[in-house]
């Protein structure tokens, strides 16, 4: 089955062609980062309008790269939520219109299920069951995964998501959007141990997260240095290092707890923050101690992309799922409400 995947939940237009027999044939992405950067974050209306402009050229591009025709496509998968409603509606309308015109089925995919399954596109995919740490700009969740659609939420953030904490902290320190990669870059030059920030909610049992206080701690440190006349680049790097270490440690401690609690030894990390090298290293070290294994997607499939939507949609289509002609999206959509395959 040849599936066209469309992702438009936020500020990336992602398109891909996935073949159930041959794997991923082509994928293309247009990132709107430059468009939103001047505003310090995503402007929803600008995002929707830009998706409209990029979608059809990207579809033509993946078809040409894969050497396929529109008539070869058997089904269309699109992100139906969670995300920005206007942006989601562009992908959903486009998918439904093309599906109607081409006489093929369309399926709405849950964005976080897409992220969660992205490591399945790699050479050594994880086997069920596993614990998944979903860390994106909008979500920080620990999930027990027994199969596609068989999700048990173990814990999540009670305030900011991990990616959001990276973005907000970066903004406070005058770094451009998106802040995650910027902080990661500065942290590489930072001195470990100069700034020690809290590891929120690790001193009590449970798998909940809270990252909003950490952002304030980083801001206080930054302001104190500024007041003391220390505006050096090195200080910014040292704070970035301290902040990243606090996030990475906190995530590692909670992942270890989730693995103990479930008795599982495979961990999948997915979503934009799973591209973070320090996080990967820390989790790999922790899993080596437990004789377990950590799985993640190649960096470009950690952040938003069409390949993960094409893959997740393909699995659901193969199981017989698809939508009617209605164009329906959901800004909020709990992943554990999805039907199992
Ligand atoms: O999954 P994603 O592309 O979009 C959402 O579904 O939210 O995640 C984007 C988030 C942003 O907050 C971004 O700053 C963060 O992932 N991010 C990173 C890194 N790359 C992206 N955070 C830390 N380190 C990175 N290398
Ligand atoms: Zn995402």
- Cβ of 14 less than 6 Å from ligand 1: no
pLDDT number for residue 231: 85
Mean pLDDT, range 169-174, rounded to an integer: 96
> What is the percentage of the chain residues whose pLDDT exceeds 90?
99
Q: 229 C-alpha to center of ligand 1: Å?
A: 32
For the segment 266-286, what is each residue's pLDDT rounded down to a tens digit? Answer: 999 999 999 999 999 999 999
Does residue 300 have a pLDDT over 90? yes
- Parallel, antiparallel or unpaired: strands 266-270 and 75-81: unpaired
303 C-beta closer than 6 A to ligand 1: yes
Query: Residues with Cβ < 8 Å from 243, sequence gap 6 or more?
Result: 166, 169, 183, 187, 195, 197, 214, 218
Average pLDDT of the chain, as a whole number:
97
Tens of pLDDT, residues 124-145? 999 999 999 999 999 999 999 9
Q: What's residue 8's pLDDT?
A: 98
pLDDT in tens, 35-91: 999 999 999 999 999 999 999 999 999 999 999 999 999 999 999 999 999 999 999
pLDDT tier for residue 179 given thresholds of 50, 70 and 90: very high
pLDDT, tens digit, 9 for 90 and up, residues 184-237: 999 999 999 999 999 999 999 999 999 999 999 999 999 999 999 998 999 999
C-alpha–C-alpha distance, residues 201 and 217, integer Å: 15
Tell me, what's the pLDDT at 137?
96
- Give the rounded distance of the alpha carbon of 82 from its chain centre: 12
Nearest ligand 1 atom to alpha carbon 166: 14
CA distances for 93 relative to 87, 269, 325, 326, angstroms: 10, 31, 10, 9
Ligand 1 closest atom vs CA 162: 12
Whether 11 is in the pocket of ligand 1, judged by its Cβ within 6 Å, is no
Distance (Å, whole) CA 187 – CA 236: 9
* H or E segment to which residue 31 belongs: strand 23-31
The best mutation among 272, 276, 300, 312 to test binding of ligand 1, ranked by most ligand atoms within 8 Å of the C-beta, falls on 272
What is the rounded distance in angstroms from the CA atom of residue 236 to the CA atom of residue 15? 37
Chain segment 318-329, per-residue pLDDT in tens? 999 999 999 999
DSSP, collapsed to helix, strand or coil, labels residue 116 as helix
Q: Whose CA is nearest to atom 7 of ligand 1?
A: 137
- Residue 193 pLDDT: 96
pLDDT for the residue numbered 7: 99
For residue 334, the CA-to-ligand 2 centroid distance in Å is 14
- Cα separation, 222 vs 236, in Å, equals 8
List the residue whose alpha carbon is closest to atom 22 of ligand 1.
Answer: 180
Over 90: is that where the pLDDT of 115 sits?
yes
Q: What is the pLDDT of residue 41?
A: 93
Cβ–ligand 1 distance for 304 under 6 Å, the answer yes
Above 90 in pLDDT, residue 27?
yes
């Amino acid at each position: 089955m040849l599936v066209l995947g469309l992702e438009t939940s936020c500020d990336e237009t992602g398109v891909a062609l996935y073949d159930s027999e041959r794997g991923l044939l082509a994928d293309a992405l247009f990132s709107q980062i430059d468009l939103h950067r001047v505003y310090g974050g995503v402007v929803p209306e600008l995002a929707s309008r830009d998706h409209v402009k990029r979608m059809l050229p990207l579809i033509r591009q993946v078809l040409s790269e894969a050497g396929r025709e529109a008539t070869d496509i058997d089904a269309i998968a699109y992100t139906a939520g969670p995300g920005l409603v206007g942006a989601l509606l562009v992908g959903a309308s486009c998918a439904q219109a093309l599906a109607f015109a081409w006489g093929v089925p369309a399926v709405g995919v849950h964005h976080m299920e897409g992220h969660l399954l992205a490591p399945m596109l790699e050479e050594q995919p994880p086997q069920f069951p596993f614990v998944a740490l979903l860390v994106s700009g909008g979500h920080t969740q620990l999930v027990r995964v027994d199969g596609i659609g068989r999700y048990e939420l173990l814990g999540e953030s009670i305030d900011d998501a991990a990616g959001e904490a990276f973005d907000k902290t970066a903004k406070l320190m005058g770094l451009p959007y998106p802040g995650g990669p910027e902080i990661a870059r500065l942290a590489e030059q930072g001195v470990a141990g100069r700034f020690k920030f809290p590891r929120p909610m690790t001193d009590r049992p449970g798998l909940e997260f809270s990252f909003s206080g950490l952002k304030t701690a980083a801001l206080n440190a930054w302001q104190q240095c500024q007041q003391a006349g220390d505006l050096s680049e090195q200080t910014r790097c040292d704070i970035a290092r301290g902040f990243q270490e606090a996030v990475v440690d906190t995530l590692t401690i909670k992942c270890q707890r989730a693995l103990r609690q479930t008795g599982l030894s495979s961990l999948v990390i997915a979503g934009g923050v799973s591209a973070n090298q320090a996080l990967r290293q820390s989790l790999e070290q922790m899993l080596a101690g437990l004789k377990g294994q950590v799985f993640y997607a190649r960096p470009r499939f950690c952040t938003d992309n069409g390949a993960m939507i094409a893959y997740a949609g393909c699995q659901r289509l193969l199981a017989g799922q698809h939508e009617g002609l209605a164009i329906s999206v959901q800004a909020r959509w709990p992943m554990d409400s999805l039907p199992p395959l």
